[in-house]
A and B are shown apart, each in its own frame.
Chain A
Amino acid sequence: MSATGQARLAARQIVRVYGQRTVVDHVDLEAEAGRITVIIGPNGAGKTTLFNALAGAEIPDSGQVLLNGRDVTRLDSDDLARLGVARTFQQSTVFSSLTVAENLRVGAENRARDGMVRGLVGLPDRTRFTSRAKVEDVLTELGLRPLRDVQAASLPTGTLRMVELGRALCTRPNVLLLDEPASGLDDAETEELHQLLHRLADRGLALLLVEHDLDLVREAADVVYVMAAGAILASGRPEEVIRRADVRSVALGIPT
């Protein structure tokens, strides 16, 4: 456990440089269990890069990523997924030739790495009963059951987001990283998403979101980090952070 006691996923002095430009500049951040933590900031602030570093998709140039106090900085994203860090992407990465249920199944059944040789010789997968049950649970929870056997290639963007979220949930995460989960959703869907996020937090998941939508931040966030030009400018309770005029003008481009 790290110094704060409860932290599940933490960034320590993360730096990421592209050529001459420092995209993420000594960022400290914590996503704690049972809380919804949101990173906000203008385009190009380095949010997604930071996100990729936390999810193992990019290795930071310096700094550490800690998962329950364990250094996971150099692990790949699949290692992290198996350790319980799941994520979604800004652009859909749903597997288009699989059905919705199969997409979720991929998430559910890869908690263990074995199975290639077993699969090749035709032995059934050891986890098939538990992963099947998990898929059914998540299908129900996200209201995707009617689309169970629909091929993902034919789904609209909003639904793809939910499928991707479902796939992430099927990996049984302790930490869930969501990159702009509300974009492409209509009002009703966004409202459902809020409720879902709260339910997940209540179950003890650590949620970390990148989000543009201030309404969502106000309604859903427990902690907000404001990021601009690669650095964290402010953090704290959302209503207080957003109320500050300087934060609004610098980070969100809202005139004072």
Chain B
Amino acid sequence: MLVVDLAIAGIGIGAVAALAGLGLLVTYRLTGVFNLALGAVAMLSAYLLWWMVRVEHWPVGVAATVVLAGVCPLIGLMLDRLVFRPLQQRRASPAELLTATVGVFVLVVGAAFTLWGGQARTDAPSVVPGSVLLLPGDIIVRTETIVELAVVAVLAISLVVVLRTRAGLTVRAVVERRELAELAAINTNRVSAIGWVAGSMLAGLAGILLAPSLRLDPYTLTLLVLETMAVAVVASLTRPGVAIAAALALGVAQSEITQYHLEGRAGSLLRALTSNLFVVALLVALLVKRHLDQSSNDVGTTARLALRRELPTLRGWWIPALVLLAVPLVLSPELLRTAQTIPPLALILVSIVVLSGYGGQISLGQAGFAGLGALLAASLAHTGFLWLPRVGDLVAIPAGALLVVPVGLLTGWPAIRRRGLFLALTTFAVGAFVARFVFAQPEFVTGVSPAPPAVFRNDDSFYVFELVCLGAALVLVRNLHRGRLGRALLAMRDDEAGARASGIDVTRLKVFLFAVSAFIAALGGALLTQSARAFDASTFDPVQSLLWFATVVVFGVDSATGAVLGAAAIVALDASFRPGISTMVIGVLAVLVGRIPGGALYWVRRSFANLIRPPIGPVGPPVRLSPAGAMLATRLRR
């Protein structure tokens, strides 16, 4: 009974995805935040359990209770109090909230890396005894599967019950219109806190249940968020019942595929499907489903994160910048090798600035473009690609990048209809899809041996070549920020309806921007692998896209200079400290970015400007609060 056995195995996966999906939905419905960091919370919980049981030798039951009933709710409360409540109280835009979740994600991944290292552990403790049950008809069911199913069933029933009570009404009121619910004397803060705590606990539960059947490393479990997203998006972010059904169906379907075998490319595609059906479902749902974002009023995109333009433009800043970038040429060979990763990384970050900073389109999938650029450039230089002939290694770099442009166009196409959250999810899904179906597939990546073009074999000359590429890209990018094109992009970012009413063909402009961004990212990806002399799939992991996006936001989302500095900072931190520290630093800063609007570079420049020329104070006496006013102020603050 292979079919039944496979179905039962699939139900286990489906049930865990359902748990995590419910966590995502609960948090989203109760707080209005789409918590990308959910997978990171799951990963952290699994790691904590592993550490308590395997390192500190606690009994599994105690450890699991501490994690689920202690740590997870605490994480939820901290997210609520320290990160999201302050943001929501000043009516942060959806883009700011999403960025904060990316920040939390990056922070947690960085922390796990720093604490436990990047190596995979296979001894994650199981909270359920590993026995099996024999059902009539010789069907073997593992106890885990039964427990997982039972948990999902209990949750589903309690959710239905709660939503029908008065408390449920309160919840729905908050979800519909937060401000109005506040006016009706509903404690929206408490509802949000519940959303965060419940979401974190569900994520932790999913992580702990899933860990034993996966390897435990900072990346793998984190990407549970992909499965989760798939489930949530299929359910249009609203219907828990649909989410559970979709999770179980996808889990079973994914498991059933394993019984088929095909030869050649089709065979490996099928094999890839057996662990990635959720990613396919996510991408298809995002591309096909209409009316996804009718309820979310996502105007403003990244405008609120962007550099405020009141500072005078600096002239000649590029001279010291160029000198600084030339410094590695006189340093030791090892340092030069390290520095060779700065210009390519800068190119990738600049590609995000173009899209998210200038055009207001959040992209969480740049690693996909970069990796494809790397692969295509290497293939074109060595063997040719499909029907395309082998070309010289210098031509291969831009040619490969040009071939990525169609992928950029394809990703940009949903951007015509989608904005904000759902656009970000689409780009993330495209990046994940490419990572799973191309970068993780041996026949695409084995034998790919990127190397600097023959003329630039010498380390010095390759570094200079990289700088020239970066310079050329920066010139193009500067053109995107001035003149008619620059104004059109800012107009689109600030107000899309207004831009259309002014005659700007927003559709074409968006697609154009995605194409340019994909080209620059692909160029960066090609140079990055060439500087490393190897193609490593983990360089272009979907998680990297999130890290890179967070870096760009931290250094100023619409600042190309900031992107170059950010690249230098990441490389410098990675070279000086253990892996994970740079990720953690970026994560902390990204979580705080709501408090330093405009990014770090802008903040530094403004502080300098204020030092040199203190801001002119307003005329007239300063504000003085009367006792009654002071009382009102304290009450308002509460």
Chain A residues near B (Cβ < 8 Å): 55, 57, 76-79, 81-82, 86-89, 93-98, 102, 105-107, 109-111, 113, 115-116, 118-122, 124-125, 127-128, 151, 164, 167-168, 171
Closest chain B CB from A151 CB (angstroms): 6
Distance between Cα atoms of A94 and B491 in the complex (Å): 8
Among all A-B residue pairs, the 7 with the closest Cβ atoms: A119-B485, A93-B498, A110-B503, A81-B503, A95-B494, A125-B484, A93-B495
B490 within 8 A of A: yes
Q: Determine the chain B residues whose CB is within 8 A of the CB of A88 once the complex forms.
A: 501
List 26 A-B pairs, Cβ < 8 Å. A57-B497, A77-B501, A78-B499, A79-B505, A81-B500, A82-B503, A87-B501, A95-B490, A95-B499, A97-B306, A97-B494, A102-B487, A106-B499, A109-B487, A110-B504, A113-B508, A116-B485, A116-B509, A116-B512, A118-B485, A119-B479, A120-B479, A127-B484, A128-B484, A167-B502, A168-B501
B309 touches A151 (CB 8 A): yes
Taking A76-B500, A81-B500, A125-B484 as known contacts, 8 extra A-B pairs with beta carbons closer than 8 A to each other, sorted by chain A number, are A81-B501, A93-B501, A94-B498, A95-B491, A95-B499, A98-B494, A106-B499, A107-B502
Partner of A120, one of B309, B485, B505: B485
Distance between Cα atoms of A78 and B503 in the complex (Å): 4
Distance between Cα atoms of A87 and B484 in the complex (Å): 21
Q: Determine the chain B residues whose CB is within 8 A of the CB of A111 once the complex forms.
A: 503
Distance between Cα atoms of A217 and B562 in the complex (Å): 53
A119 touches B484 (CB 8 A): yes
A125 touches B483 (CB 8 A): yes
Q: Determine the chain A residues whose CB is within 8 A of the CB of B509 once the complex forms.
A: 116
Partner of A106, one of B308, B309, B480, B502: B502
Q: Determine the chain B residues whose CB is within 8 A of the CB of A122 once the complex forms.
A: 475, 479
Distance between Cα atoms of A168 and B308 in the complex (Å): 25
Closest chain B CB from A35 CB (angstroms): 22
B498 touches A78 (CB 8 A): no
Q: Determine the chain A residues whose CB is within 8 A of the CB of B487 once the complex forms.
A: 98, 102, 105-106, 109
B630 within 8 A of A: no
A98 touches B491 (CB 8 A): yes
Distance between Cα atoms of A109 and B306 in the complex (Å): 24
Across the A-B interface, how many residue pairs have beta carbons closer than 8 Å?
110
Partner of A97, one of B475, B490, B497, B503: B490
B516 within 8 A of A: yes
* 0 or 1 for each of B417-450: is its CB under 8 Å from A? (1 = yes): 0000000000000000000000000000000000
B499 touches A119 (CB 8 A): no
Closest chain B CB from A150 CB (angstroms): 11
Q: Which residues of B (333-378) have their CB < 8 Å from a CB of A?
A: none
B56 within 8 A of A: no
Q: Determine the chain B residues whose CB is within 8 A of the CB of A119 once the complex forms.
A: 479-480, 483-486
Q: Which residues of B (466-493) have their CB < 8 Å from a CB of A?
A: 475-476, 479-480, 483-488, 490-491, 493
Known: A97-B306, A97-B309. A78 touches B505 (CB 8 A): yes
B485 touches A98 (CB 8 A): no
Closest chain B CB from A130 CB (angstroms): 12
- Interface majority SS on B: helix, strand, loop or mixed? helix
A95 touches B498 (CB 8 A): yes
B491 touches A78 (CB 8 A): no
B303 within 8 A of A: yes
Partner of A93, one of B309, B497, B507: B497
Known: A96-B303, A97-B494. A110 touches B501 (CB 8 A): no
B506 within 8 A of A: yes
Closest chain B CB from A233 CB (angstroms): 29
Q: Determine the chain B residues whose CB is within 8 A of the CB of A79 once the complex forms.
A: 505
Closest chain B CB from A95 CB (angstroms): 4
B488 touches A106 (CB 8 A): yes
B504 touches A106 (CB 8 A): yes
Known: A93-B501, A119-B483, A171-B502. A106 touches B516 (CB 8 A): no
B138 within 8 A of A: no
Partner of B506, one of A78, A98, A127, A164: A78
Partner of A95, one of B308, B476, B479, B495: B495
Distance between Cα atoms of A78 and B491 in the complex (Å): 13
Closest chain A CB from B518 CB (angstroms): 14
A121 touches B479 (CB 8 A): yes
B502 touches A116 (CB 8 A): no
Closest chain B CB from A128 CB (angstroms): 8
B263 within 8 A of A: no
Q: Determine the chain B residues whose CB is within 8 A of the CB of A164 once the complex forms.
A: 498
Q: Determine the chain B residues whose CB is within 8 A of the CB of A77 once the complex forms.
A: 497, 500-501
Closest B residue to A94 using CB positions: B498
Q: Determine the chain B residues whose CB is within 8 A of the CB of A107 once the complex forms.
A: 502-503
Closest chain A CB from B492 CB (angstroms): 9
Closest chain A CB from B483 CB (angstroms): 6
Q: Determine the chain B residues whose CB is within 8 A of the CB of A120 once the complex forms.
A: 476, 479-480, 485, 516
Closest chain A CB from B27 CB (angstroms): 29
B485 touches A81 (CB 8 A): no
Distance between Cα atoms of A151 and B501 in the complex (Å): 20
Closest A residue to B494 using CB positions: A95
* 0 or 1 for each of B301-323: is its CB under 8 Å from A? (1 = yes): 00100101110000000000000
Known: A106-B487, A106-B491, A110-B503. A89 touches B309 (CB 8 A): no
Closest chain B CB from A61 CB (angstroms): 16
B500 touches A78 (CB 8 A): yes
Known: A97-B306, A122-B475. A55 touches B501 (CB 8 A): yes
Q: Determine the chain A residues whose CB is within 8 A of the CB of B480 once the complex forms.
A: 119-120
